[in-house]
């Protein structure tokens, strides 16, 4: 019985599709290594198919051309191999076309990226610390100098203002010499007579040139040529208006012995001790008080 020995792959014309075979082999393989081996084995057939058309002459496994070519027997079936070396080879071949097996992905994920190590320069750190300390010390010195300058300025202004205020409050104008009298012309035993008597004891003469009740003595003395001021001064006659420090309705006069700020020390007649008698008091300077200066 005669059989035609047709060379080439034994498939019906038009039904052979190498890509479909490659997908089928990859889907039916259970393990990644088996998939790799199957795909590599099929790839060889796929490359051969692309290299030679299905109708071209190829070496049949049953023909003697295979042995004659020195290629050995063709594999009986396409499938996974038991050779351990096939797995890395398949993985390498698939990696070149962009396919990474699950095992290689897991290994790549387990490999941790090494953390960078920072090497600290002790000398540079010490230099920076010293520079920082020097800058802080300089800032502290500058702040202290500014505070000292402000304190000095404040103290100077305070002292200057205080001196000016003191001199303005207690400055005493120069006293002019007015008219004089040869006797004590006031009523005996009254405050006016006592004030004129103290002036005579201090200055050696009696002032004159005016008359009237105590409350108008400041105006009369100014008209007679004496200096009259609202600033208290020792060696002067104090003139108080009615009601000031207990003065009567006609006013009151007294002799000023000394002044301490706004405190005026006086000696007076016909006040606390009665007519013809002297007593001393300390009064606070204020409104309604005028002073006739002895020159």
> Is residue 241 in a domain?
yes
- Give domain status of residue 150, yes or no: no
Q: Which of 109, 133, 156 is the last residue of a domain?
A: 109
Model pLDDT, residue 154: 66
| pLDDT at 174 (0 to 100) | 80
Whole-angstrom Cα distance, residue 157 to residue 155?
Answer: 5
Residue 189 and residue 105 share a domain = no
Using CA atoms, how far apart are residues 229 and 88, in angstroms rounded to an integer? 123
Residue 217, in any domain of the structure: yes
- Report d(CA 220, CA 228) in Å as an integer: 10
Clarify whether residues 186 and 284 are in a common domain.
yes
Residue where a domain terminates, one of 109, 139, 165: 109
Q: Rounded to whole angstroms, how far apart are CA atoms 46 and 22?
A: 8
Residue 83 lies in a domain: yes
> How confident is the model at residue 50, as a pLDDT?
45
Q: Which of 109, 124, 145 is the last residue of a domain?
A: 109
Residues 93 and 185 in one domain: no
Strand order in the sheet with 252-260: 228-229, 289-293, 236-240, 252-260, 263-269, 278-284
Count: domains in the chain: 2
DSSP-based three-state secondary structure for 136: helix
Note whether residue 4 is domain-resident: no
In a domain, 167, yes or no: no
Residue-level pLDDT at 57? 45
pLDDT at 127: 87
pLDDT along the chain (295 residues), means of 10: 52 61 64 54 49 45 45 47 48 56 63 69 85 91 84 62 44 82 96 97 96 96 97 97 96 97 97 96 97 96
Same domain? 284 vs 195: yes
Q: Within a domain: residue 73?
A: yes
Which of left, alpha, beta for 213 (phi over 0: left; psi -120 to 50: alpha)?
Answer: beta
Residue 272 is part of a domain; what is its CATH number?
Answer: 3.90.1720.10
Q: What pLDDT shows up at residue 194?
A: 97
Q: Which domain holds residue 273?
A: 180-293
């Amino acid at each position: 019985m005669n059989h035609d020995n047709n060379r080439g792959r034994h498939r019906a014309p038009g039904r052979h599709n190498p890509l479909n075979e490659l997908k089928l082999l990859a889907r039916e393989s259970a393990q990644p290594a088996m998939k790799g081996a199957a795909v590599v084995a099929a790839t060889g057939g796929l490359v051969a198919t692309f290299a030679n058309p299905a109708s071209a002459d190829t070496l049949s496994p049953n023909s003697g051309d295979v042995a004659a070519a020195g290629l050995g027997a063709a594999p009986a079936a396409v499938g996974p191999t038991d050779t351990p070396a096939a797995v890395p080879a398949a993985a390498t071949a698939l990696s070149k076309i962009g396919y990474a097996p699950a095992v290689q992905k897991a290994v790549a994920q387990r490999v941790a990226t090494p953390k960078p190590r920072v090497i600290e320069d002790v000398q540079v750190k010490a230099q920076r610390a010293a520079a920082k300390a020097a800058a802080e010390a300089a800032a502290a010195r500058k702040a202290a100098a500014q505070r000292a300058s402000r304190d000095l300025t404040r103290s100077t202004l305070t002292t200057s203002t205080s001196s000016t205020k003191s001199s303005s409050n207690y400055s005493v104008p120069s006293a002019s010499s007015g008219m004089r009298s040869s006797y004590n012309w006031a009523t005996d035993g009254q405050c006016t007579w006592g004030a004129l008597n103290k002036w005579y004891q201090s200055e050696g003469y009696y002032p004159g040139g005016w008359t009237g009740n105590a409350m108008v003595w400041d105006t009369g003395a100014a008209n007679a040529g004496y200096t009259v001021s609202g600033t208290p001064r020792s060696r002067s006659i104090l003139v108080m208006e009615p009601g000031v420090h207990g003065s009567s309705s006609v006013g009151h006069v007294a002799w000023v012995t000394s002044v301490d700020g706004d405190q005026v020390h006086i000696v007076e007649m016909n006040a606390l001790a009665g007519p013809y008698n002297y007593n001393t008091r300390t009064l606070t300077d204020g409104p309604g008080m005028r002073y006739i200066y002895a020159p």
